[in-house]
Amino acid sequence: MRIVAVEEAFSVPGAIRQEGAIRQRFAVPDSMAQEWFRRLSDLTELRLADMDAHGVDVQVLSFSTPGLEVVEDPAEAVAAARRINDYLAKAVAEHPTRFAGFAVLPLQDPKAAVVELRRAVEELGLKGVLHNDHVLGHYLDEPQFRPVWAELERLGVTLYLHPAAVPADNWRVFEGYPVLVGPSWGWTATVGAHALRLIYGGVFDEFPGASVTLGHMGELLPFQMARLDSRYDQIPAEGRVRQLPSYYLRNNVYVTTSGVMSHAALLGAVHAVGIDRVLFSIDYPFESSAEAVTFLRTAPYAPADLERIAHSNAERILRL
């Protein structure tokens, strides 16, 4: 079975000045962090060997956290985005049957981000965008980002909304429990809320052809659809979007399996949003390729449906 994995991280050493300081804050054993960093900066030897060992045909590469969103100076962000996207496009060109890529955008300067998005897709051949949650505390439903959504819709590419290493603010409920801040819960809560801002902020009413992709089984939003819809009638009429929240989750959102190797969760996500909107992901190198591929191959689906999750949805959506 052909396998395409769509949230697979890489790094460009030195591309982001703040990278070293932020990485020192990662609350993981040093040996684990060092292995991650070794694999993130490798695009051939370790990565291709891992893919071959576990039957992964294609990785869709994306720039690892901390990403471009931590850069405060817009001009610096624009220059870094060009360097990273050029680096990624070169890696894809050298291994065109094994890699595809998501661009980074300098959203600190939305006008420049539109220009770079157009260049990344039309000139470099990248397949969409991956962005790490907020932009120095700003969210993508805000008016200054509407031109970016217009260009995403025009180009027909998705924006993968990924967690950020540096939170926009500090939630008191997490105080004293750092385990809650990151992947176990905080990232899901913040990125899921950001996606809901896009829905309730009318982004998909204004740009119905635009889409957002959410990892970690859709940051659990597929499992909240009934609850979201049940509150719709209580929203004042002037503040409502045109459709129930579930409509946008089924029409403007794609879901990936990254980091959630649970057949129960997969069954629920597929039932909620539809099997044509669920894509396989490993989250290399932060998750085990062996575990993720075993999870995929043993999923309780007929072969034709499993092929959709494993590769054909990604090929259609990303035009691989």
Give the residue numbers marked as catalytic: 283
| Tokens representing residue 139 in the block | 């969210």
Number of other residues whose CB lies within 10 A of the CB of residue 192: 18
Number of other residues whose CB lies within 10 A of the CB of residue 247: 15
| Tokens representing residue 70 in the block | 């931590």
In degrees and rounded to multiples of 5, residue 261 shows phi and psi of: -100, 65
Could you give the CA distance from residue 77 to residue 266 in angstroms, rounded to a whole number? 36
The DSSP 8-state label assigned to residue 233 in this structure reads G
Q: Which residues of 212-226 are buried (b: 16+ CB within 10 A; e: fewer)?
A: bbbbbbbbbbbebbe
In degrees and rounded to multiples of 5, residue 236 shows phi and psi of: -55, 140
What is the dihedral angle through the alpha carbons of 63, 68, 70, 76, rounded to the nearest 10 degrees?
140
